Homo-oligomer: A and B are copies of this chain.
């Protein structure tokens, strides 16, 4: 897990301005295990900095995506974000919408095998399993 201070100074060195809005958004993403949507990030950050707008959240997320500081997956018509950038499986609960991460070493191996077989230049990966989480699955038996 990256440290806030390191990320902030590397962004500053690249010429980006360090605004309270950006710090608040990054800070929240680093401390949570959730996979929040832009809308949800906005709700959370507004509690601390009520002036933050939703469009700033979107623009900050674009920046962080470009810098590979957050990953994204598209689920149910919305994009969900995650500061856990190692190769992992996203477990998506189709009932409550929760997303859990699960580390899985073999993904890197599959990825390089797929790159070789397909001749694609691979830049990014998403592995999603959809189902019901441990809390919800009892409701569907």
**Residue pair A134, B110 in contact (C-beta under 8 Å):** no
| Number of chain A residues close to chain B: CB under 8 A | 37
Specify which of B94, B126, B134 is in contact with A130 (CB 8 Å cutoff): B126
Give complex CA distance A102, B111 in Å. 11
List of B residues within 8 angstroms of A134 by Cβ: 118-120
Given A74-B74, A89-B110, A126-B130, are A121 and B104 neighbors across the interface (CB < 8 Å)?
A: no
**Residue pair A102, B118 in contact (C-beta under 8 Å):** yes
Shortest beta-carbon distance from A60 to chain B in Å = 19
List of B residues within 8 angstroms of A8 by Cβ: none
A residues with CB within 8 A of B? 74-75, 77, 89, 91, 93-94, 100, 102, 104, 106-107, 110-111, 113-115, 117-134, 137, 140
